[in-house]
Chain A
Amino acid sequence: MLFNSSEFFIFLPIVFFLYWFVLKNSFRQQNIMLLGASYFFYGWFDWRFLGLLILSTVIDYSFGFWVANGTERKKKLFLWLSIFNNLIILGFFKYYNFFVTEAAIFLGNLGFHAHPYVLNIVLPLGISFYTFHGMSYVLDIYRGNFKPIANFVDYAVFVCFFPLLVAGPIERASHLLPQITTSRKFSYAQGVQGLRLMLWGFFKKVVVADSLAPIVDDIYKNYHTYSGSTVALGAIYFSFQIYCDFSGYTDIALGTAKLFGFELLTNFKFPYFSRNIAEFWRRWHISLSSWFRDYLYIPLGGGRTTRAKAVRNTFIIFLVSGFWHGANWTFIVWGGIHALLFIPLLLGNKNRQFTGPIVAYDRSLPTLKELAQMLLTFTLATLAWVFFRCPDMATSFAILKQMTVNFFHVPALKSFMLFYVAPLVLIDWYFRRDERALAFPRNRALRYITYAVMFVVIIYHSNNNASFIYFQF
């Protein structure tokens, strides 16, 4: 079920009503209902993959116990078995075809003619997200950060709570499970905040991302017919499309969870206001980058090791992060570019330069230096997105090359910048101090008019019913 589908607007009030009115006296019953609702939500896309989701949940739940109760040696064994199991599931569905095809090409280059058996299978929705939930659960138990949860339903809700099931945020057991295992109370402020986040999320997704999508598709498909300036504009549009698509989804997920009394992890903190790439990664898809940081980068030694190892670790985390997005060299190169942009900061000890509040936190406007830093970071991120967006490396390079042709011509399709991108940047700038407490007007009448106008604009743009980009990952 898509958040931006009419089914969801029937599903959500029913679940909300059952949750707070019928089952309000028992959080256990609420959890059972949430689990059923989550399976229904997931099964609405394709019920055939429900079995895999349930199997993955049962296996990680069992490994959690085995890891907690085994001897030191067995703990390690079960941990690796759990990781292996998750990677096998992920690898089979997501990476098998990539590996066998690449292996066949490699063997072909060596003179051996291999005929790889390619699977004709659909990637189960959200597989990268729920396997990471499972892995973090077992890893946290292994590290002693968390004790295995006794109730299977509680654990299953943690893995597949419907707002975060298909595109995150990637939750941690230590953050979400305590909320699942205690009773929730409805809070007016939390409910209002949830609805506001949902409204803003829908606005970003339906109005901005879905309006930019056909323009981006056209420019990326017919780049050779456009001037360099238009292709560059297309790349900028894609930066905003993917941001609005994914952060819009996240806002809807966070808002929906709030309606049920849950606080999910933050995933986006206005990444395009970052002053360098290191800050960008502290503001973009935070739940994934922190997952890799905690479970991969730091165990490898992180940045507190020799320079050479720190560089190696940086490359590993960015390449793996790129590969997580999909079985294609373009994603790996996208990760590699970010690693190359990050390493100079790491070596110059500037990677933790901007760990505090967002730019111009206590001012209305940034300084010229900050503006230049933001523009540079955005430009670098946008150029890297070209690889992320293109189907193959050859197209990526062709698009970058095309950007240099007639770059100084007045670009076509620039009106979208005025109607969609510029207002979004201004609103984001206004909201930038707190990604959860969106600053709607204080005057009540003005506030409700703002809601109504947003509502109308969303409906006006709702004809696409497009899926979310991150569903494919």
Chain B
Amino acid sequence: MKQFLKKTLAFGIALLLVAAVVQALITVRIKNKTTTGHDHLTIYPGEKFDILFLGSSRCADHFIPGVFKQDVGLTSLNMGCIGHADIPSFLLKLNYYLLYHPAPRYVIMNFDLATINGPQDPAQNRNYLAKHYFARYAFFAEPHNEMVSQYFGFNLAERYLPMYAILKYKMLGDCITMKDGRNWMKKGYLEQGGVWNFDPVKQKDAVSRGHADTFRIRYAPIKDQMRYVKDLCAKNGSKLICVHTPLFSMVYEDKGFELPGQMCRELDIPYIDMHRNTIPDSVVYFSDMLHLNETGATRFCKALCADSTFRAALGGTARTVAP
């Protein structure tokens, strides 16, 4: 028995030690960097940005910081992330941003029916599409990283066994190569190349089913959460602006897409519907039904920067640039 325990324990400890060393090396390598373009909670610490973009993949793919710098003269950071279509996740990112940076002047959130469709109750958030992108924050989370651990519900093994979360969520390759992260750091957003080649009927069916109903049912709690976001922004001297980013029009045909705008009006939050008359209904501008490709995103950002409501929302800070 002694020999058995000795060897088993020795093997286990050796394995843990090797894992701890690899974990330490990876932690150093990815510190304050993004490995995939989604895990940017601690990116550019201390740096001040004028605009913080918050939202789902429809934020991550659509807001190009370079265009805003050029057209309105404001620096920005895009913290949108695929798979996070609920306000608690936007709040999580806003809180992280405030931990690592001075408060931005504007918080721009993509807020529409195709975005707010995830669970609004963090307690239900157990198997999120993009949980794996945040596995890097699971191991021995620093006190402020508790927020992300709690949000994603990382278990004890993921939090206290070195390399376990990174291996389990298959992030080792990304942590080593950081290929997608480098592209994000270069462009400042999640660039979508190519043109849309999806089946529109299938996509429409998958996307629009029940979103309006869900939003209507949860109207009151979503409104409370939006009020909280607005108040948090105001407390930090930031102004919250909501934008409805473009969709392929057949999705928008569904009734209920006016609901987020209505909510923003009730809460006195500037709301800019950039779906209508911004991007032609062409696959040239879309990578799928909900997401613009690079050409579409550039056109959208330029249109937003030129939009009078948006400029009014920015007040006198926007630099006037000839279109």
Chain A interface (Cβ within 8 Å of chain B)?
6, 9, 20, 186, 188, 191-192, 195, 448, 451-452, 455-456, 459-460, 462-463
Contacting pair A192 B15 (CB below 8 A): no
Contacting pair B168 A462 (CB below 8 A): yes
Contact of B4 among A192, A455, A456 (CB under 8 A): A192
Contacts of A20 in B (CB 8 A): 1
- A-B contacts at CB below 8 angstroms, number: 35
Nearest Cβ in chain B — how far from A355, in angstroms?
A: 36
Main secondary structure of the interface of B (DSSP, over half): helix
Main secondary structure of the interface of A (DSSP, over half): helix
Nearest Cβ in chain B — how far from A11, in angstroms?
A: 14
9 A-B pairs with least C-beta separation: A459-B167, A191-B4, A186-B1, A460-B167, A6-B157, A188-B4, A463-B168, A462-B168, A188-B3
Known contacts A186-B1, A191-B4, A192-B4; is-contact A459 B168 (Cβ 8 Å): yes
- Candidate in B11, B157, B167, B170 with the most chain A CB atoms within 10 angstroms: B167
Complex interface residues of chain B between 107 and 142 (CB less than 8 A to chain A): 132
Complex: A460 Cα to B166 Cα, angstroms: 8
Nearest Cβ in chain B — how far from A448, in angstroms?
A: 6
Selected A-B contacts with CB under 8 Å, 27 pairs: A6-B155, A6-B156, A6-B157, A9-B157, A20-B1, A186-B1, A188-B1, A188-B3, A188-B4, A191-B1, A191-B4, A192-B4, A195-B8, A448-B14, A451-B11, A452-B11, A452-B15, A452-B18, A456-B167, A459-B164, A459-B167, A460-B167, A460-B170, A460-B172, A463-B132, A463-B169, A463-B170
Nearest Cβ in chain B — how far from A253, in angstroms?
A: 19
Chain B interface (Cβ within 8 Å of chain A)?
1, 3-4, 8, 11, 14-15, 18, 132, 155-157, 163-164, 167-170, 172
Contacts of B156 in A (CB 8 A): 6
Contacts of B18 in A (CB 8 A): 452
Contacts of A456 in B (CB 8 A): 167
Contact of B11 among A6, A186, A188, A448 (CB under 8 A): A448
Complex: A451 Cα to B14 Cα, angstroms: 12
- A457 nearest CB neighbor, chain B only: B167
Complex: A462 Cα to B157 Cα, angstroms: 12
Contacts of A186 in B (CB 8 A): 1, 4
- A448 nearest CB neighbor, chain B only: B11
Complex: A452 Cα to B22 Cα, angstroms: 14
Nearest Cβ in chain B — how far from A442, in angstroms?
A: 16
Complex: A191 Cα to B2 Cα, angstroms: 12
Contacts of B163 in A (CB 8 A): 459
Contacts of A195 in B (CB 8 A): 8
Nearest Cβ in chain B — how far from A441, in angstroms?
A: 15
Nearest Cβ in chain A — how far from B121, in angstroms?
A: 22
Contacts of A459 in B (CB 8 A): 163-164, 167-168
Contacts of B155 in A (CB 8 A): 6
